[in-house]
Structure 1
Amino acid sequence: MQLRAVVFDLDGTLVDSLGDIADAMNHALAQHGVPTHPEADYLRFVGEGVKELVHRAVPAGREDLHEPVLAAYRAHYDAHLFDRTAPYPGVTGVLAALAESGVRMAVLSNKSDGFVKRLVAKLLPGVPFVAVYGERPGVPRKPDPTAALALAAELGVTPGACGFVGDTAVDMDTARAAGMYGVGVTWGFRSHELQAHGARAVATTADELLAALRDARLT
């Protein structure tokens, strides 16, 4: 049996957004008089929601700054969402090929839902995603499988017939917890985590990703 649907992570998987995230957080940190971070540090800061991003970026012992830094980050990011963010090379071709072959698709991110919807609408226009979701109140973040399982139902497939593509341990843990076929991509934020967290396949290029999804053999 082949995959009938695929759920994609967004940041680090479909789009390279690290620069805009780093710029927005460093702007917020500087506004509040605390040290900024090199862009590379954000590779390990991101992936588990904006509050965890703030927790990792703000110095220890300055919990009083969490809420104001969060507000400043959101305001700056909202105004600069598309400054440097773009789809990774070959991604749009993968999505088009999957759509043409009848594979149903969705996006599930730990980024705030409004930002996710705006990014997908502008950067991946015309892709027939059945659903696009980010972090929403009352819905546990990845790696909790709740949202992924709900997406499988919305896609009209069993979890076992659904692929889950991502670039971090959070995504592979989500795939395993949901009973989905996890495929990791190495062009994102934390490729060293993928195999240790149960990736069924790992792709280093867009062509390899498409092949991994088409060649998946489900039990």
Structure 2
Amino acid sequence: MPLRAALFDLDGTLVDSLADIAAAMNHSLAEHGLPTHPVAAYRHYVGEGVVVLVRKAIPAKRAELQASVLAAYRAYYEEHLFDHTQVFPGLPDVLEQIAADGVRLAVLSNKADAFTRRLVQGLLPGVPFAAVYGERSGVPRKPDPTAALGVASELGVAPANCAFVGDTAVDMNTARSAGMYGVGVTWGFRSADELRIHGARALATTSDELLSILRSA
């Protein structure tokens, strides 16, 4: 390209947060007398922001409870953000090495901005991210390219010189819409087929493969 910046999704890409997301939502659902879901089901509920997460988790006939379930979810998740969530193996080293190569790093998530920042600060404190953003009022969520293009502008890097690394169709669609190099990771919440179908230009199955892809992009 050559690569000058790499933007990373958070959940399912940098951190394995599924258990804590599922626990928080199931706690909120049970609190409202609604059926809960197995952890694996949340692989297909996450990725589009918490409002969509709540909508998918609640039975359609109980839509009137969405606001209350959302509030309960946020309150519980805030207290249990770090119960089980961990960085995927090998990624701190990958981030350190590509930063040493002169590539600027950023995080762009559809998770609430405050939770995104807390997780990055708590689990990846030594990584020199130049920008960290979650969902913010007034900024369209991924896959709308607005936020990704804003990060590229903030970093002073043309979109064509940016990689966007993620684990879902939302991320690959974001990369494509923003004119960035979409890199899918298969250790996250969705399948390699989904990533390919939605435009991944490269797929990484291990952290070492991710490093190689970014260095050769």
TM value normalised by structure 2: 0.99
Q: Does 1:55 align with 2:52?
A: no
CA distance in 2, matches of 1:196, 1:23: 30
The residue that corresponds to 1:30 in the other structure is 30
Gaps of 5+ in 1: none
Q: For 1:197, give the aligned amino acid.
A: H
CA distance in 1, matches of 2:25, 2:78: 12
C-alpha deviation, 1:2, in angstroms = 1.9
Gaps of 5+ in 2: none
Runs of 4+ in 1 over 2 A off after TM superposition: none
Count of matched residue pairs:
216
C-alpha deviation, 1:126, in angstroms = 1.4
CA distance in 2, matches of 1:69, 1:197: 31
The residue that corresponds to 2:176 in the other structure is 176
The residue that corresponds to 1:16 in the other structure is 16
TM value normalised by structure 1: 0.98
Quote the RMSD (CA, aligned, Å). 0.6
The residue that corresponds to 2:87 in the other structure is 87
The residue that corresponds to 1:201 in the other structure is 202
Q: Does 1:139 align with 2:139?
A: yes
C-alpha deviation, 1:60, in angstroms = 1.0
C-alpha deviation, 1:64, in angstroms = 1.1
SS of corresponding position for 1:47: coil
Q: For 1:206, give the aligned amino acid.
A: S
Mapped contact 1:2–1:214 kept (Cα < 8 A): no
C-alpha deviation, 1:164, in angstroms = 0.2
CA distance in 1, matches of 2:188, 2:78: 22
CA distance in 2, matches of 1:7, 1:108: 7
1:48-98 CA-to-partner distances (Å, cap 9, x unmatched) read 000000000001111111011001100000000000000000010110001
SS of corresponding position for 1:61: helix
* Correspondences of 1:56-75 after superposition (within 5 Å): 56-75=56-75
Q: For 2:207, give the aligned amino acid.
A: A
The residue that corresponds to 1:102 in the other structure is 102
